[in-house]
Copies of this chain bind each other. A is one copy, B any other.
């Protein structure tokens, strides 16, 4: 039993968790060795997290504190549990991690043209209209049209990961020999994609995929054991 809970985006199946931002937070909690009860949450359940003052997940409730936004949560965990293993690796490393968090957000946008329609196939019934309408408004076309030419975009997407590939060729994790929050932040989008889509964004043998696969196994296979596609 724990007095800590995380509102975690879920699909039609309650166990299919597919927020890139929530995954970061789940790995951050595990890194800190902090138990958490995850609560399946759907896009339209804004009322349930209203106490956080906004309408997006992750929302962490720690005792009587409500904290939202994955970067804010990571900093909260680091500052509130300083004796647990550091998420950042020191003050300079914390500052350097700010960019990784923003870079990871941009990866979510970069992956969306490949998996947008697959997400629709997994969202809860009551979320379908919300998801389709909000996302189609954002991209300016139907989700079907949006993903229609995804194969032709794949080489460019993979090419855009070149700097990440270079770094991961010379060390096991972005944080060094062991992963840090920078790794979890960037892992989030890749885990999001595989939880929701059979589309193979990464090539076999790619150092980025090898890194992702190592993170799948961490914390007793926390990410590996979640419902997902084998890509």
CB–CB A89/B88 < 8 A:
no
- Per-position 1/0 for A60-102, Cβ under 8 A of B: 0000000000000000000000000010111111111111111
The chain B residue sitting closest to A88, CB to CB, is B92
| A174 proximity list for chain B (CB < 8 A) | 95-96, 98-99
* Interface residues contributed by chain A, number (CB under 8 Å): 33
| A182 proximity list for chain B (CB < 8 A) | 96, 99
Among A93, A97, A106, A163, find the residue whose CB has the most chain B CB atoms closer than 10 A.
Answer: A93
Bound CA span A173–B101, Å: 15
Measured between C-beta atoms, what is the minimum distance from A142 to chain B in Å?
A: 24
Bound CA span A92–B31, Å: 15
A3-11, A42-50, A164-172 - the one binding chain B: A164-172
Residues of A140-198 whose CB lies within 8 A of B = 162-164, 166-167, 170-171, 173-177, 180, 182
Could you say which of B88, B89, B92, B101 contacts A175, with CB atoms under 8 Å apart?
Answer: B92
Copies in the complex: 2
CB–CB B89/A176 < 8 A:
no
Bound CA span A164–B100, Å: 9
A interface residue numbers (CB < 8 A to B)? 86, 88-103, 105-106, 162-164, 166-167, 170-171, 173-177, 180, 182
Q: A89-B90, A163-B103 are in contact. Are A96 and B98 (CB under 8 A)?
A: no
CB–CB B176/A102 < 8 A:
no
Could you say which of B98, B167, B175 contacts A167, with CB atoms under 8 Å apart?
Answer: B98
The chain B residue sitting closest to A97, CB to CB, is B96
| A96 proximity list for chain B (CB < 8 A) | 89, 93, 96-97, 100, 174-176, 180, 182
